[in-house]
Structure 1
Amino acid sequence: MKVKLSSKTPKSFLTKTGGFLKDYDYSLNPYTGCAFGCSYCYVRRLPVSLFRKEEWGTWVDVKKAGRESFVRELKRAKSRGPVRIFMSSSTDPYQGEEAKEEVTRVLLSAMAEEKPDFLFVQTRSPLITRDIDMFQELKTRILVSMTIETDRDEVRKAFAPSSPPLAARLKALKQLSSAGIPTQAAVAPMLPFTDHFPEKLKQVTDIVTLDDFFQGDGAGGRRSASLGAHDILIQLKEEDWFDPERIEMERTRFERVFGKKNVRISQNGFAPFR
């Protein structure tokens, strides 16, 4: 799919948070829009998407970043209190354009100098391994969360055909973990997977977060249903996965592999380590 690109230079990058991200002080989005265009993405129902004429996934605004200006922004934020950052809440910081634009890398280089109290990096892109050197600068102040919703590629293609292949994500997560970066797999939203999925994830990380279409969509499943998630599951003959009780059954399965303390659920799974 052809993605329409545009550029802008924002006055600031850090945005105060609340709600689902109440455990953080700021969100950080290097881009507006996301070329992965996942069908279930809650951002499709937010103003940033609804006020655009183009379909979600067909446009990306590149936020031009200056390293020194972001260092100054971090210093100002730190003078006012804790700086715990969630990157990113409404885009993927490692979508394809990042390979050329390097907005995320510029922001990370600033954070390596003026370190935040904590940085949570959420992505589904193998490109993230490019920045292992930056993550190592932050040591224990970081958690990298790789979205791996399923181990069935036909399910991935049904929900997010433009997203990176599952095998590449698993390989990237293993590489991050092996480099000493704190990591987790985010099975979010939880899509139909095989019985061996927990064991596959345990080979590449020690922590997993589960979320579903009910706790995670902010509307008790109504938003996900309106985005067609239930319809896709029906087409896949997997409609029993659209069930608010399913996550507890799968939680037990993952706890047998990871242990109870290493299986986190929904909002708690995206909070800083305590």
Structure 2
Amino acid sequence: MNIDYSYKQPKTLLNKGTGFLAGYSHSLNPYTGCTFGCSYCYVRKMPVSLFRGKEWGTWLDIKKDSAALLHKELLREKKKGPVTIFMSSSTDPYQPAEYKEEITRSLLEVMAEVQPDFLLVQTRSPLVKRDIDLLQKLGNRVRVSMTVETDLDEIRTHFSPSAPPISARIQTLRKLREAGIPTQVAIAPVLPSSEAFPELLRPVVDLVCIDDFFMGDGAHGRRTQQLGIQDKYEELGYSDWYHPEAYQVVARRMRELYPEQQVRISQEGFAPF
């Protein structure tokens, strides 16, 4: 697939946390667009994508000179009160372009110096382990949330073929944990999985966040419905999994192995601290 890359000079990086992210003072997106191009991504039906006029996953804006801007904004915002940051809400901070561009790494370098009160790094990419040195500097002020929607890689390939394999994400969680980085797994959105899923996760993570299309797409499932995701479930013979109560199957399995307080649902699981 040909990707249309553009370099943009952002006017601002820290955006006020609202809606699903109202528990955060700010959200931070190192890129606009995401070349993982997951079929179920709710951003496909948001203005940032709709007004672009191009297929989600085929374009990417790279926010150049971001570090200097973030340094300035962080100093300003910290004077106003606690700064809690969700990175990222509408892009993956460790998508393939980050290998070369290192925008996310440059932002972490700033945050290691001018530390926010809390930073959640949301990704599905093993590349995050490259920045263990910087994440360690943030101590308990950071948590890495790794998306692992299923333990079945054949399911992953149907819904997000350009995203990293499940095994690579599990290995990354193990490395982060060994390095002392606070981590969690985000089963978000819930995809069909097996009864062995909890056993796969237990050695590598303590916190489990479960979210689905109906709670987490920002429109009570309407955005996902417009994407035709239900058809994919039916084609694969998993129509029972496309249901507002399906997440409870995964939650019940997780709670058989994890203490109740370590299994969190939707917005609660992404909350700071």
Query: Does structure 2 conserve the Cα–Cα contact (< 8 Å) formed by 1:30 and 1:62?
Result: yes
CA RMSD of aligned residues (A): 1.0
1: distance between equivalents of 2:66 and 2:169? Answer: 29
Tell me which residue corresponds to 1:229: 229
Specify the alignment match of 2:238 in structure 1.
238
Structure 1 partner of 2:205: 205
Q: Distance in 2 between matches of 1:70 and 1:248?
A: 39
Who is 2:139 aligned against? 139
Greater CA drift, 84-93 or 1-10: 1-10
Deviation of 1:66 after TM superposition, in Å, equals: 4.5
Alpha-carbon distance between aligned partners in 2 of 1:241 and 1:36, rounded to the nearest angstrom: 23
Partner Cα distance (1:6, 1:233) in 2: 35
Counterpart position of 1:257: 257
Q: Could you tell me how far 1:243 is from its partner in structure 2?
A: 1.2
TM-score of the superposed pair, with normalisation by structure 2 = 0.98
| Alignment partner of 1:8 is 2:15 | no
**Identity of paired residues, percent?**
57
Match of 2:20 in 1: 20
Larger mean Cα displacement after TM superposition, 162-171 or 210-219: 210-219
Instruction: Confirm whether residue 219 of structure 1 aligns to residue 219 of structure 2.
Output: yes
1:152-163 residue pairs with structure 2 within 5 A? 152-163=152-163
Q: Distance in 2 between matches of 1:175 and 1:100?
A: 22
CA distance in 2, matches of 1:163, 1:21: 24
Unaligned runs of 5+ in 1: none
How far the C-alpha of 1:112 sits from its partner, in A, is: 0.3
Deviation of residue 191 (structure 1)?
A: 0.2
Q: Aligned-pair distance for 1:220?
A: 2.2
Q: Which moved more, 1:111-120 or 1:248-257?
A: 248-257
Aligned to 1:191, the other structure's residue is in SS state coil
Q: Deviations over 1:117-157 (max 9, x none)?
A: 00000000000000001100000001100000011111111
Q: 1:34 & 1:249 partners in 2: Cα distance? A: 30
Shift in CA distance, 68/221, structure 1 to aligned 2, threshold 3 Å = closer
Look up the SS of the partner of 2:220 in the other structure. Answer: coil
- Could you tell me which runs of 5 or more consecutive residues in structure 2 were left unpaired when the two chains were aligned: none
Tell me the distance in 1 between the aligned counterparts of 2:221 and 2:17: 22
Tell me the residue number matched to 1:104: 104
TM-aligned CA distance change 1:209 to 1:66, over 3 Å: closer
Aligned structure 1 segments of 4 or more residues deviating by more than 6 angstroms = none
Residue pair 1:65, 1:107 contacting (<8 A) in 2 also? no
Q: CA deviation digits over 1:55-112, x for unaligned, max 9? A: 0000000001343442221100111111100000000000000010000000000000
Q: Is the 8 A contact 2:86 2:120 kept in 1?
A: yes
Give distance in 1, aligned partners of 2:142 and 2:126: 17
Tell me, yes or no, if structure 1 residue 32 matches structure 2 residue 11. no
Identify which range, 248-257 or 49-58, moves more after superposition: 248-257
TM-score, normalisation: structure 1:
0.97
Tell whether the 8 Å contact from 1:25 to 1:84 is kept in structure 2 after alignment: yes
8 Å Cα contact 1:25-1:85 kept in structure 2: yes
Contact 2:10 2:66 in 1 (8 A): no
Aligned pair count?
A: 273
Q: Match for 1:155: what amino acid?
A: I
Aligned twin of 1:125 = 125
- State whether residues 39 and 228 of structure 1, in contact with CA within 8 Å, keep that contact through their aligned partners in structure 2: no
Amino acid at match of 2:229: A
Amino acid at match of 1:23: G
Aligned to 1:38, the other structure's residue is in SS state: coil
